[in-house]
Amino acid sequence: MMGSDVLPLWSSTNGFEDRESEKSLLEDVAKIPSMGTKNGVISNTMNGSTNGLLSQMPISNPWGSVRRAHSNRSMSGSRPGNEAADVELGGQEKEVEKPVRERPFAKSRHQPITSGLAYCLCSCSMILLNKIVLSGYNLDAGISLMFYQNLVSVVLVSILSLLGVINTEPITWKLVRVWLPVNLIFVGMLVSSIYSLKYMNVAMVTILKNVTNMITALGEMYLFHKHHNQKVWGSLILMVISATCGGITDLSFHGLGYGWQIVNCFLTAGYSLTLRKVMDLAKQVTKSGSLNEFSMVLLNNLLSLPLGLGLILVFQEAPYLLSSPVLRLPVFWAVATLSGLFGLAISFTSMWFLHQTSPTTYSLVGSLNKIPLSLAGIMLFRVPTSVPNLLSIFFGLFAGVLFALAKISS
C-alpha cells in the first residue's frame, strides 16, 4: 500500500500516483451503473493510484495511488483523459432504493468535510509512515515491506468481502491472465516508489512526481490523439522546471533516489495509460460484467504477492530480514502495519470523498494536500534545505495547483 496516489494505489492506493489521474479513475468508477453508489482509486492510482491507485490514471492524480492504488483506480472503458462534467456524483441512482450495505457513501451535510479530512489524513499519514519505516528504522528491504503491506490489504479486503460489507468479483484464471500484464507494471511502480522515498526527502518526491503528468500527457497525445490546451501545457512546463530546480538545489541529493523516482514516473504513467484498456478486457471475463474498486484492490495486491516473493528471493532480502534486529521491535511492526492500513484506507476515503463532493473539488484538494505533506516531511525528518530549494518546492506545489485548475477549465 505504498499508493493509487501510489497512487493507490490505486491497488489499494499504495503508490504516489498523481492526483489528476486518481481523480479521473475514481470519477469513472462512480459512474458504473451496475454497481451504483457502492463503487468508487485508483490510483492511485492509487497513485492512483491509486494507488493508488487510488488512488490512482491518465492525466485526466500517484499518490493515489495509489500506493496501492494507486493503483489502481478506474472503472471506465472510456479513452484516457476524458473529463466528466462538474456534477455531484453518487446521486445518479437516487430513485432506486438500495440495501444499506450497498450505500456506504450516502450523503449528509457534514460528510463532504469529514470525508475530505479523512482522505487527506490517510494520504499524508501513509507517506510519512512509510518514510519512517524506510529511513527512521533504516530498513533495507523495500520489496519485503511492499509484500507485507499488500498482504495486509488482501487479508482485510477478503474479510470485509466475507462479512458482506463490500462486494468483490471472484478471482478466476481468465481474469488473472488478463490482469497480469498491468500488475507487473503495478509492482514495479510500488517498488520504485518505495526506494525513491527511502533515499529522497518527502518534499522532493512530491515535486518530482509532477513529472508523471508530463509523461502521461505526451502518452495521451501520441497514443490516443488527445490534445490539451495551452494552460495545461504551461502548468506542465512549470512542473518540470520546478522539479529540475529542486534537484539542482537539493542539499540532500541522492543520485540513486532520483533514479528510482524517474523510473517510477514512467511506470506510473505507463500504468495509467494501459489500465483502462486492460479493464475493458477484464470486465468481459467477470461474472457481473464489471470490475469495482474493491475488486481491483484485491486483484492487484493478490497478484503482487507471488511476484513480490520472487523479487525477495532474487534480491536476497530474506537473509537480511532474518538477521535484522529491526524485525524484533514491536514498534516497527506497528508502524509498518499502520502504514499498510492507511494505504488501504486511501482507497476507501478517496471513494467516499469523491461521492460526497465533485471531481473538481477532489482534484483541487489532492493538489493542495501536497503543501502540508511537503512541510511535514521537511520538519519531521529535519531535512537540510536552503532558500532556493524551498522556493523550488513551493513553485512546484503552486504549479500543481495551476495544473488542477487548468484541467478543470479545459
Q: Distance between CA atoms of 169 and 299, rounded to whole angstroms?
A: 9
Q: If you average pLDDT over residues 89-101, what whole number do you get?
A: 41
In this structure, of 262-271, 358-367, 385-394, the range with the lowest mean pLDDT score is 358-367
Residue 11 lies in a domain: no
Q: If you average pLDDT over residues 296-316, what whole number do you get?
A: 92
Query: Could you give the angle at the alpha carbon of 268 between the alpha carbons of 296 and 314, nearest 5°?
Result: 85
Residue 3 lies in a domain: no
Q: Distance between CA atoms of 67 and 4, rounded to whole angstroms?
A: 5
pLDDT value of residue 105: 54
pLDDT value of residue 197: 93
Grid coordinates of 100: 444499506
**Digit-coded pLDDT (tens) for 53-71:** 333 333 334 333 333 443 3
CB-based contacts of 246, cutoff 8 Å, min separation 6: 204, 207, 208, 389, 392, 393, 396
Q: Distance between CA atoms of 45 and 7, rounded to whole angstroms?
A: 4
The total of structural domains in the chain comes to 1
Q: If you average pLDDT over residues 399-409, what whole number do you get?
A: 87
**Digit-coded pLDDT (tens) for 24-46:** 544 454 444 433 333 334 333 33
Residue 13 lies in a domain: no
Q: What are the φ and ψ backbone dihedral angles of 170, each rounded to 5 degrees?
A: -60, 140
Grid coordinates of 32: 458504473
**Digit-coded pLDDT (tens) for 198-208:** 999 999 999 99
Q: Distance between CA atoms of 140 and 56, rounded to whole angstroms?
A: 26
Residue 164 lies in a domain: yes
* Residue 369: pLDDT band with limits 50, 70, 90: confident
Domain of 69, in residue numbers: 19-83+106-409
Grid coordinates of 328: 524484533
pLDDT value of residue 293: 82
The answer, as to whether pTM is greater than 0.95, is no
Residue 92 lies in a domain: no
Grid coordinates of 96: 432506486
Residue 6 lies in a domain: no
Residue 136 lies in a domain: yes
Is the confidence at residue 82, as pLDDT, over 70? no
Is the Cβ–Cβ distance between 19 and 52 less than 8 Å? Answer: no
Residue 4 lies in a domain: no
